[in-house]
């Protein structure tokens, strides 16, 4: 019995090693960065997702459609809806991303995505892989970039979370060796780590940020986290004008809430799991995960999304129209900057901060005690189009200084 169990576990592990070695080969053959300046029309896909996703996607789409009206009329940009990435359809076909949906996504250069449901034990859905994790792997969206900025707290953080490796990449591939022993796996490659950390250093250099912080638990997780840390310091030598330091994930979570230290951090590079934890903590300073967007960057495709969950309870209770679209709209601002329309991105982010953090003429509560998502989106649009936006932004900066 014992020999059979061990042999089965060895065969399972062997298959995973073969898959990861094949992935290393693909990484070595990966294409160069796509140049958006040579793409016309640039296709922006809008993916509703699950739960409140379609509702907040509708508000973000309306806002983008309004802002990009001239680009759409001239044929430079096309907004395209991508249907079918729902938990019902995924459960029906037993896949994280149905084949026809993945094909439609690959026809888009960038996508703006609402939240999707990931089944957990006890849910009425089959145990399929997270759609986010699958999309990151299928499209090789290796960097999850999440900015968090709160001038009142001296916070101006940008997190670069590795997206395609680590503990999450093999999350569905663990094994119950016996009823008493379960084993999960964590895989890290030199190629995957290097491209993520190099992107963080390139960002710091481009934006004249003097420090990059590496976050691991390399004192305990010595092999995979140790590789991440070693590669990080090797890359740091190529950027002599940028300081590089490292912190362990446990103390880092504490230092982000330490008012004496948190302003010291600017750009952070992290493995997958730690990045997920730390960015959710960081988003709370900005008003919660409902206010934060994120970018999933690859060399060919990129996906921008709300970072919160699908909130099925809000739908069940008939409150979806009161869901806060700020996270998805902020992701839309990141999308605009990524495709080279930085002026609109700047105005949209300024309007989001003025409306959500300063003036608060309309407030989202998630219930009928506050405004609807469309009303808040219209508030943001009116603020963007107001000739006094810069002055209102200046008032905000002075108020929090």
Burial of residue 213 (CB within 10 Å: 0-12, 13-18, 19+) is buried
**1 within some domain:** no
| Contact in structure between 239 and 202 (CB atoms under 8 Å) | no
The domain boundary residue, chosen from 245, 266, 292:
292
**161 within some domain:** yes
Question: What pLDDT, in 10s, does the model give residues 124-155?
Answer: 888 888 898 889 889 999 999 998 888 777 88
**212 within some domain:** yes
**237 within some domain:** yes
* Residue 213 and residue 179 in one domain: yes
Residue 382 has pLDDT above 70, yes or no: yes
**24 within some domain:** no
* Residue 150 and residue 287 in one domain: yes
The pLDDT value recorded for residue 291 is 64
More confident residue, 285 or 343: 343
What stretch of H or E contains 78?
strand 77-82
The pLDDT value recorded for residue 37 is 77
Strands 211-216 vs 42-47: parallel, antiparallel or unpaired: unpaired
CATH number, domain of 52, equals: 3.40.718.10
State the pTM of this model.
Answer: 0.84
Among 293, 295, 272, 271, which residue's Cα sits nearest to residue 282? 293
Question: What pLDDT, in 10s, does the model give residues 285-301?
Answer: 876 665 677 899 999 99
Residue 343 pLDDT class (50, 70, 90 cuts): very high
Please state the rounded mean pLDDT for residues 266-295: 85
**13 within some domain:** no
Split into its structural domains, the chain has a count of: 2
* Residue 224 and residue 253 in one domain: yes
* Residue 227 and residue 318 in one domain: no
* Residue 153 and residue 287 in one domain: yes
Question: What pLDDT, in 10s, does the model give residues 10-59?
Answer: 999 999 999 999 999 999 998 888 888 778 999 999 999 999 999 999 99
Strands 175-178 vs 243-248: parallel, antiparallel or unpaired: unpaired
Task: Classify 156 as helix, strand or coil.
Answer: strand
The pLDDT value recorded for residue 289 is 62
The domain boundary residue, chosen from 276, 292, 308:
292
* Residue 127 and residue 172 in one domain: no
**327 within some domain:** yes
Q: Domain residues for 365?
A: 31-141+298-401
For residues 241 and 202, give the distance between their C-alpha atoms in angstroms, rounded to a whole number.
Answer: 12
Contacts of 23 (CB under 8 A, 6+ apart): 189
């Amino acid at each position: 019995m014992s020999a059979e169990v061990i042999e089965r576990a060895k065969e399972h592990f062997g298959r995973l090693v073969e898959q990861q070695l094949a992935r290393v080969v693909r990484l070595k053959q990966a294409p160069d960065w796509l140049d958006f300046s040579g793409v016309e029309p640039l296709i922006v896909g809008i993916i509703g997702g699950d739960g409140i996703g379609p509702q907040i996607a509708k508000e973000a789409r309306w806002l983008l459609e309004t802002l990009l009206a001239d680009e759409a009329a001239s044929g430079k940009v096309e907004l395209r809806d991508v249907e079918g990435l729902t938990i019902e359809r995924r459960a029906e076909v037993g896949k994280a991303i149905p084949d026809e949906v993945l094909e439609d996504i690959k026809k888009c250069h960038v996508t703006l995505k609402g939240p999707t449901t990931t089944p957990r034990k006890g849910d009425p859905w089959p145990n399929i892989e997270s759609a986010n994790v699958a999309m990151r792997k299928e499209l090789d969206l290796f960097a999850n970039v999440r900015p968090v900025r709160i001038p009142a707290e001296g916070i101006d953080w940008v997190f670069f979370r590795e997206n395609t490796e680590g503990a999450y990449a093999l999350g569905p591939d663990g094994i119950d060796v016996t009823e008493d022993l379960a084993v999960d796996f964590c895989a890290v490659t030199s190629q995957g780590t290097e491209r993520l950390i190099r992107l963080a250093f390139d960002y710091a250099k481009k934006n004249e940020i003097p420090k990059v912080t590496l976050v691991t638990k390399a004192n305990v997780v010595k092999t995979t986290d140790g590789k991440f840390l070693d590669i990080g310091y090797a890359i740091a030598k190529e950027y002599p004008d940028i300081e590089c330091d490292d912190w362990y994930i446990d103390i880092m979570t504490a230092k982000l809430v330490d008012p004496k230290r948190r302003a010291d951090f600017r750009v952070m590079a992290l493995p997958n799991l730690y990045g997920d934890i730390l960015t959710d903590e960081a988003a709370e300073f900005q008003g919660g995960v409902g206010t934060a967007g994120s970018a999933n960057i690859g060399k060919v495709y990129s996906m921008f999304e709300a970072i919160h969950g699908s909130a099925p309870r809000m739908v069940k209770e008939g409150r979806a129209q009161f869901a806060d679209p700020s996270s998805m709209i902020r992701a839309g601002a990141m999308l605009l900057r990524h495709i080279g329309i930085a002026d609109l991105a700047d105005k949209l982010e300024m309007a989001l901060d003025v409306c959500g953090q300063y003036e608060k003429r309309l407030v989202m509560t998630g219930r009928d005690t506050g405004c609807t998502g469309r009303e808040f989106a219209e508030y943001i649009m009116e603020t963007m189009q107001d000739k006094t936006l810069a002055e209102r932004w200046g008032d905000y900066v002075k108020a929090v200084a």
